[in-house]
Amino acid sequence: MRLTAAQKEQFDREGYLFFPALFTPEEMKNLNDEVPELYERREAYNVREKGKDAVRTNFGAHLYSEPFAKLARHPRMIEPVEDLFGESLYMHQFKINGKMAFEGDVWQWHQDYGTWLNDDMMPTERAMNVAIFLDDVNDYNGPLMFIPGSHKKGVVDAKHDLTTTSYPLWTVDNELIGQLVDRAGGKPGYDEAGRPVGGGIVSPKGPAGSMILFHSCLVHASGSNLTPFNRVSVYLSLCAVSNHIRRHKRPEFIAHRDFTPIETLPDDCLLKHYPVDLPWKDGLPASAMETSLEEIKPELQAA
């Protein structure tokens, strides 16, 4: 799937593109069916909500689950990003976020590249998020919120929040969020005639199978999920190969260390069998838990 000139222009301006119902319910079925068993596993790669059993994020499923390994190579996800970067991609991070009914906690306002820079020493913002909805996303079950155009600010000030949720995140303070929202069109509301005005926060919603591409500097967040409806979504964080991380401060299941370019599968890969590598099928290797604060020189990594 390639982007049109108008889509590229929109992405540049807004920092995201939304593709409602890009995948069919049949294509989503095997992915959805796999999630409960993956979430049941008592493994380091399942991060649970603070003080709860519900899974907040499952990391690295493309390395041990066949349906997700195929999704990670899907041309509808990989090609548009290759097209935007003009370069091959590797998988920097792969997660299945639960945002489970009644239990799903907030994601504070943040930029993903802020974390990838501060923690992983990713040199530039040439990395992209691709989200796929496994459940319908509506107004109520904690949809993602974006501040359109906020990616144009580059990396903004952030603080390392280790306490709000179970997952450490570099977060943006409320004052700066207020300024960015004003700059983007201000409070979403209504004029005297009841017409909607103000586009400072947007929130793409749609059926399971919808896809969002969003810039790694786009400021985003989501509220908690107080509804009886799960909001499971998959996030691929795709990095240009030349922009690979330079530090392994975080375990490998969170920030991957294999910079091999992704090779796409055929477009029907979610409906048919195609062989895929599942290197962590029999468990997480001990090396995936090893971390270091050392900067890794690219020459050494190539050796």
Residue 126 contact, options Mn ion, ligand SIN, none, Cβ 5-8 Å cut-off depending on partner type: none
Could you tell me the smallest distance in angstroms from the CB atom of residue 212 to Mn ion? 11
Query: Which residues form the interface with Mn ion (CB under 5 A)?
Result: 112
Strand partners, 190: 196
Strand-pair category, 46-48 with 55-59: antiparallel
Interaction between residue 116 and ligand SIN (CB under 6 A): no
Question: For residues 73 and 231, which CB has a smaller minimum distance to ligand SIN in the complex?
Answer: 231
Q: Judge residue 268's burial from the number of C-beta atoms within 10 Å of its C-beta, 0-12 exposed, 13-18 middle, 19 or more buried.
A: exposed
Residue listed under structure tokens 């108008």: 6
CA distances from 270 to 23, 25, 31, 36, 262 (A): 9, 11, 9, 19, 16
Question: For residues 92 and 265, which CB has a smaller minimum distance to ligand SIN in the complex?
Answer: 92
Question: For residues 65 and 233, which CB has a smaller minimum distance to ligand SIN in the complex?
Answer: 233
Interaction between residue 239 and ligand SIN (CB under 6 A): no
Strand order in the sheet with 159-161: 144-146, 220-222, 107-110, 169-171, 159-161
CB 183, CB 218: distance < 8 Å: no
Interaction between residue 11 and ligand SIN (CB under 6 A): no
Residue 144 contact, options ligand SIN, Mn ion, none, Cβ 5-8 Å cut-off depending on partner type: ligand SIN
Q: 301 — phi, psi (to 5°)?
A: -70, -35
Interaction between residue 233 and ligand SIN (CB under 6 A): yes
Could you tell me the smallest distance in angstroms from the CB atom of residue 142 to ligand SIN? 6
Could you tell me the smallest distance in angstroms from the CB atom of residue 271 to ligand SIN? 26
Interaction between residue 107 and ligand SIN (CB under 6 A): yes
* Amino acid code (one letter) for 208: A
Token pair, residue 30, equals 């095997």
Residue ranges in contact with ligand SIN by CB under 6 A: 97, 99, 107, 144, 220, 222, 233, 235
